[in-house]
Amino acid sequence: MSSNPEDIMELHWLFDMLQHIDVGLVVLNDKYEIKLWNSFIENHSGVSSSIAKGQSLFDIFPTINSNWLQQKLDNVIALRTPIFISWEQRPHLFPFKSYRPITGMAEKMYQNVALRPITNADGTVKYVCMVVYDVTDVAVNKESLSNANRKLDYLSKTDPLTSLHNRGSLDKVLNNAFEVFKQSNGSHALVMADIDHFKQVNDRYGHPVGDQVLQAVAKVLSSGARKTDFVGRYGGEEFVIVLPNTDSAGALFFCETVRKKIAEIKIKAADAIVSVTISFGISEACSSDKDVHDWLSRSDDALYKAKEGGRNRSVVVSGI
């Protein structure tokens, strides 16, 4: 090493800058023992470099997955090539708290961490430098953007009054169900449901009571459905239910069960208790259906027959 005073001064400056840079630096040997770390790590861990020196990284940070990180550190030394660990992969490798006021939404610091081999003068590699970047701002912004997108996506598919799927998502699900049927046949049922004489409920008790009835009916319909079933509000007081892998007998059983439960609903109005009934039209997809509209209109015919037959009933119409 040069003993030129100017070189020594530059080295001192360099060391001072690395010591105080707003990035964490940890040097480890091939036994994962700490050789040094800078003030960024001191401040966030609360452990001074002199105390950390010689200790295993995994003793000081027991929450770090040692098997996983050791393998990465070994690879850096063996292959002499850097490895990057992004916050999306491991959000909080070091258990540091977030201290930035602007990102008060995050309790823990999100980090990107680079593992860099340190090459000795003779070309050998025995040490690794972990470079820790605080990326809390970026991570919090990205996560809140994805949360907002998830919320928007949910709203665009959901009926605000009943929280059921809306008409737009129903069209997609129906088309998918019909495609599945075309490719693999099987039994898939489509149910159309319509509350009986709903106009009278609105006219007698007012729209807000009508809304409560819609919400209560929607709740019964979705609580009776399986996870793989689809319950949507088709519009007004009409609902559509897609029952995959269900034949018309199974669909009839479902409809009769929820029909009886819906007849038990009691909504309190100003001076009355409001009850409603519902009619169901059921059909299975059949091979003569040209498209999903043929299937839909058969269920609609079944619903019409249920209304014609006196309402508060379920009717199946079979395809040819």
- Stretches 3-11, 68-76, 106-114, 194-202: which one binds ligand GTP (CB under 6 A)? 194-202
Burial label for 278, CB within 10 Å (0-12, 13-18, 19+), is buried
195 binds ligand GTP (CB under 6 A): yes
**Rounded to an integer, what distance in angstroms lies between the CA atom of residue 296 and that of residue 232?**
14
Bridge partners of 242, per DSSP, are: 190, 230
- Nearer to ligand GTP by Cβ, of 186 and 206: the residue is 206
Residue 66 near residue 58 (C-beta atoms within 8 A): yes
Query: Shortest Cβ distance from residue 221 to ligand GTP (Å)?
Result: 15
Reply yes or no on whether 237 is catalytic. Answer: yes
Query: Shortest Cβ distance from residue 218 to ligand GTP (Å)?
Result: 11
**Rounded to an integer, what distance in angstroms lies between the CA atom of residue 119 and that of residue 279?**
78
The mark string for 249-288 relative to ligand GTP (x by CB under 6 A, - otherwise) is ----------------------------------------
315 binds ligand GTP (CB under 6 A): no
**List of residues 6+ apart from 45 with CB closer than 8 A:** 52, 60, 61, 94, 96
- Per CB under 6 A, contacts with ligand GTP among 129-168 are 161
Query: Shortest Cβ distance from residue 46 to ligand GTP (Å)?
Result: 58
Query: Shortest Cβ distance from residue 165 to ligand GTP (Å)?
Result: 15
- Per CB under 6 A, contacts with ligand GTP among 86-125 are none
**List of residues 6+ apart from 293 with CB closer than 8 A:** none
194 binds ligand GTP (CB under 6 A): yes
Q: Which of 237, 264, 284, 308 is catalytic?
A: 237
- Nearer to ligand GTP by Cβ, of 199 and 268: the residue is 199
196 binds ligand GTP (CB under 6 A): yes
Residue 277, CB-side half-sphere exposure with 13 Å CA sphere: 13
| Tokens representing residue 319 in the block | 């395809």
Residue 250 near residue 243 (C-beta atoms within 8 A): yes
By CB under 6 A, name the one of 229, 237, 284, 300 that touches ligand GTP. Answer: 237
**Rounded to an integer, what distance in angstroms lies between the CA atom of residue 102 and that of residue 80?**
38
- Stretches 98-106, 129-137, 150-158, 207-215: which one binds ligand GTP (CB under 6 A)? 207-215
Q: For residue 175, what is the enclosing H or E element?
A: helix 167-184
**Rounded to an integer, what distance in angstroms lies between the CA atom of residue 67 and that of residue 32?**
12
Number of residues in contact with ligand GTP, rule: CB under 6 A?
A: 16
Query: Could you tell me how far CA 228 lies from the centroid of its own chain?
Result: 17
178 binds ligand GTP (CB under 6 A): no
* Residues marked as catalytic: 237
**Under the rule (CB under 6 A), what is the footprint of ligand GTP?**
161, 194-199, 202, 207, 210-211, 214, 236-237, 307, 311
